[in-house]
Chains A and B, each alone.
Chain A
Amino acid sequence: MRNALAVTVRILRQFKHDPRTLFMMIVAPILALFLLDIIFGAPAYEPLVLTGDVPGDFVSALEDAGARTARAGHDDALARIGTADADGYVTLEDDSLRVWVEGSDAAKTGAVVRAVTRAQAETLVSLELDLKPIELPGGLEIDITKYIDLPDFKAPEAPEVTYVHGSEDMGSFDYYGPVFIGVFIFFFVFVTSGISFLRERTGGTLERLMAMPIHRWELVLGYAQGFGLFTVAQSAIVVLASIYWVGFPNFGSIWLVLLIALSMALVSLLLGILVSEFASTELQMMQLLQIIVIPQILLSGMLDLSQTPGWMQFLSRVFPVTYGADAMRAVMLRSEGIGGVWLDLVVLWAFIVVLFGANVVALKKYRRI
């Protein structure tokens, strides 16, 4: 135990001598979260829709639906779409709308189609309102609505939405934010601890330690404590900066958020040490990162996986990041307490225990006892 403490002190001193790493591990995640917040928080894209042979009220309806418009002839319009100078072109052909879209960016295509669809609905509604009785010369009035059965169009009213969790002010990023906090901490701790242990091996100090009266578990515990203490500070700063400076919504307990972040960091640290076993250079460590960490982040539930194939959902359930991401969301967005996330925490700590053991066993390669 005293040996573990010696390792812990040593690691903290190494951090102290390496202010750049300290800076990177704290500032880099905050910077990334800040940038993502701005990107996701930007107003919705306004597609440029060229209009051909369509009525004027359709054009204004398009603009109401959030599109920029410009009149263009058919050939000119297609040419401009071809060079991605415009996002879409809409015209009437044989009394039905035809829409061309540029098509390489699904988000822009969606924006065009949404605007056209909404404009179409709007103009149909106003069409109905136009069906006033027609005045004929001689004071006769014909109300054609009496003779034809028109479907009853009504301008749709905005439905009333009640927020069980979150609020009206939440941007789309706010749903991803809690996951990003966990994921970034996971990522940076993995890299730092992995490279730190790799250096222990390549620098010969691991071999030297194995010639000294220190138990393998003491070495792993020393690392866990040293990086654990550091990540407590790192998580706290990143979480607090995200919430109070970048402005992430947090509807739950800040302490619970910190506990989850720390648990994820510990998993990451032990995983990083274990994985460094399979790398002989720092470059190889970065290559392993791409295989071990990136898939975990992609499958963490950051993006919705409910419609993906079963094997992918299974894989996601095998990765520890998934549980951390889930717990982060539950606490920060749905204000759940420990009762709502205990299972996630149990899984994370099971990973910690298993990875700790795996590291102690992996060190047998250097010394049997």
Chain B
Amino acid sequence: MPVLAARDIVQRFGQQEVLHGVSLGVERGEVLGLLGPSGAGKTTLVNILAGVAEPVSGLVKAFGEPMPSLELMRRMGYMAQGDALYLDLTAAENLEFFGAIYGLTGPALKAAAATALQTARLSVEPRKQARDYSGGMRRRLSLATALLHEPELLILDEPTIGLDPLHRVEIWESFRKMAAAGRTLIVTTHVMDEAERCDRLALIRDGVFIAIGTPEDLKARAGASTLEDAFLHFARAEGGGHNA
């Protein structure tokens, strides 16, 4: 049973259809990358997977149960494209608040926060409000708040945007470690070298998956040496209808 499965997701905003029936399934311990340019529908899809938005038609199941459901959300972690932090609170207060919603308080919270901050490669200053953090630090704090309750399924929308390359590499190492420990990740990106680190990639363009497969598989099928070239190949062929 896939940890997360989406079938025939169609999403429309007003007259404009932004997702034209996409389907995907993610297995336990897998890192699935959603790769595509901005405006392709990545965030729309990810919001639907996280239960923040509901599609016009189609079905999302997490752990075999239909979304959205508060019980399922307890087992999921979601990091939005925006940092979605309370900028007037300190980092610790942000962690405490988000932790409390997952039932973490006291020593359990302290331990969870320490682990999450370690994973996100962030050391926080006690009295500093989040608004005074740099963009990259906020991004990592946002990631830490999503990791607090050690979710089985993590949905991360552009988690490494604006980070320095060293942090980016380290954070991807943590993602791989989490996957190795049996946790499942769905990560959107438009950075090719991050896409290389995914187990499987779904290339998304104009609201459809134009190709799906392991990075090596995609490059081989396109006869390309880089993912960038492979993406161009599939975009020109405009396959459509591929399901992950």
Which residues of A come within 8 Å of B, CB atoms?
A: 2-3, 5-7, 9-10, 13-14, 17-18, 203-205, 207-215, 366-369
* Complex Cα gap A208–B98 (Å): 10
B71 surroundings in chain A (CB, below 8 A): 213
Task: Say if the beta carbon of B84 comes within 8 Å of chain A.
Answer: yes
CB distance from A226 to the nearest CB of B (A): 12
B74 surroundings in chain A (CB, below 8 A): 213
A13 with B89: CB separation less than 8 A:
yes
A205 with B70: CB separation less than 8 A:
no
- Chain B CB within 10 A, most for which of A2, A5, A205: A205
* Complex Cα gap A136–B78 (Å): 113
- Chain A CB within 10 A, most for which of B69, B74, B80, B100: B100
A203 with B73: CB separation less than 8 A:
no
CB distance from A200 to the nearest CB of B (A): 9
A203 with B100: CB separation less than 8 A:
no
Q: Could you list 24 A-B pairs, sorted by A, with CB under 8 Å?
A: A3-B101, A5-B100, A6-B101, A9-B97, A14-B88, A17-B89, A203-B82, A203-B84, A203-B85, A203-B86, A204-B81, A204-B84, A207-B47, A208-B84, A211-B51, A211-B52, A211-B73, A212-B102, A213-B70, A213-B73, A214-B70, A215-B70, A367-B51, A368-B54
* Complex Cα gap A205–B145 (Å): 12
Q: Which of B51, B83, B88 makes the CB contact (< 8 A) with A204?
A: B83
A10 with B83: CB separation less than 8 A:
no
Task: Say if the beta carbon of B226 comes within 8 Å of chain A.
Answer: no
Q: Which of A2, A18, A204, A215 makes the CB contact (< 8 A) with B100?
A: A2
A7 surroundings in chain B (CB, below 8 A): 97
A18 with B68: CB separation less than 8 A:
no
B70 with A10: CB separation less than 8 A:
no
Task: Say if the beta carbon of B76 comes within 8 Å of chain A.
Answer: yes
A6 with B54: CB separation less than 8 A:
no
A211 with B76: CB separation less than 8 A:
yes
A2 with B103: CB separation less than 8 A:
yes
Which residues of B (87-109) have their CB < 8 Å from a CB of A? Answer: 87-90, 93, 97-98, 100-103
Known: A6-B97, A14-B89, A204-B81. 10 other contacts (CB 8 A): A3-B100, A14-B88, A204-B83, A208-B52, A208-B80, A211-B80, A212-B102, A213-B70, A214-B70, A368-B68
* Complex Cα gap A145–B97 (Å): 94
B73 with A10: CB separation less than 8 A:
no
B87 with A203: CB separation less than 8 A:
yes
B93 with A204: CB separation less than 8 A:
no
* Complex Cα gap A205–B47 (Å): 13
With both beta carbons as reference points, the residue of chain B lying nearest to A209 in the complex is identified as B101
* Complex Cα gap A204–B158 (Å): 15
B52 with A366: CB separation less than 8 A:
yes
With both beta carbons as reference points, the residue of chain B lying nearest to A203 in the complex is identified as B84
* Complex Cα gap A205–B84 (Å): 4
With both beta carbons as reference points, the residue of chain B lying nearest to A17 in the complex is identified as B88
A204 with B80: CB separation less than 8 A:
yes
B52 with A207: CB separation less than 8 A:
yes
CB distance from B40 to the nearest CB of A (A): 20
